[in-house]
Amino acid sequence: MKCKVCGAPSGKYPLCPACNAKKEKGEIIKCQKCSNWHYVNAPCPTPVPITDNGKYLYEIRKNLISKSEQSFYNAIKASLPAGYCAFPQINLATFIDKTDDSRFHNELFRNVDFLVTDAEYTPKFIIEINDQTHLNNERKERDEKVRKICEEAGIPILKLWTSFGVKPEYVKERIDETLNKLPVARVHHFSQAPTPNITQSSTSVSTPNSTVNKNGCYVASCVYGSYDCPQVWVLRRFRDNTLATNCFGKAFIKIYYALSPTLVKFFGRYNWFVNPCKVVLDRVVLRLQNRGLENTPYNDKY
């Protein structure tokens, strides 16, 4: 060890023999202000900042939400009733409690794009802004976990897709529709209680285990993550405006709805099923769009 004052060898002691003798005379002290050894009349040394070549481990983000989310946020705020608020980038643990005695609640350390509350700041529903990354298998697994947690807690999720763009009228329509359905029925996913005989509570249908309306596009909803997204809107238009108008198309629809719920239930969680289906459906959707079918919001005819 080197002396803390003069730098001479000091063995296992902080001061060398010469500086230790000065300490005994009161010439050297261990300063209470800076906790360093120095001469009694010497100023405290200035600490050297650790800059690591100007790089820091933590940085402030430039924006809380992306430019696309900002556009949706403006439309959302304009569509909410008086007194309602939309909070961006809210952690699930902020508004959902886990009721068991487990020490770790890692599954709640996930953010949602927007949480909508009433004037008393009571959570009402969630808005997720989905882009094409939500079609990736890893992201779909994350979204599925969030959906189940929110369904069990009794808070619905409204999904808006960036590929459709920001349409204020459509955003307001979806928000009004979600508010009119409140409160929603809770669904058991994680507890041992028996699952009640009720339908899907979320405003968006996206998973193999969720139910859709009687004419729901089961495979397409599984592949694209939602019953209300541009690709499924194209397929639903084709179903209602083309297939349902002739006997062969009606037969296909009947067979499809007889088989697809079972296929999705047992295989919808596996990549070897979803990926090939997506390749085929992508081609079908592209071909239908080239024929003039729109990918705008659509209400089923039947």
Name the CATH code of domain 65-204 (choices 1.10.10, 3.40.50, 3.40.1350, 1.10.1200).
3.40.1350
**Cβ atoms 35, 44 nearer than 8 A:** no
Instruction: State pTM to two decimals.
Output: 0.57
* Alpha carbons within 13 A on the beta-carbon side of 1: 11
Mean pLDDT value across the chain: 84
Measured distance CA(281)–CA(296) in Å, rounded:
17
- Report d(CA 19, CA 212) in Å as an integer: 83
pLDDT of residue 48: 62
pLDDT of the residue at 138: 80
Nearest to 221 by CA among 32, 286, 253, 233: 233
* Spatial CA neighbour of 233 closest among 281, 293, 275, 185: 293
The residue with tokens 């960036």 is 162
Residues facing residue 126 across a β-bridge? 115, 157
Distances from the Cα of 230 to the Cαs of 97, 117, 216, 252, 282, in angstroms? 34, 28, 15, 22, 11
Cβ atoms of 69 and 77 closer than 8 Å: no
| Regions of the chain where pLDDT drops below 70 | 48-54, 102-104, 191-216, 302
Res 50: pLDDT: 59
Tokens 């300490």 sit at which residue? 23
pLDDT of residue 33: 83
The pLDDT of residue 102: 67
Write the CA distances from 30 to 20, 24, 38, 240, 289, integer angstroms: 11, 12, 7, 86, 80
pLDDT score, position 210: 39
pLDDT at 154: 94
Domain ranges of the chain: 1-59, 65-204, 208-302
| Phi, then psi, of 284 in degrees rounded to 5 | -65, -45
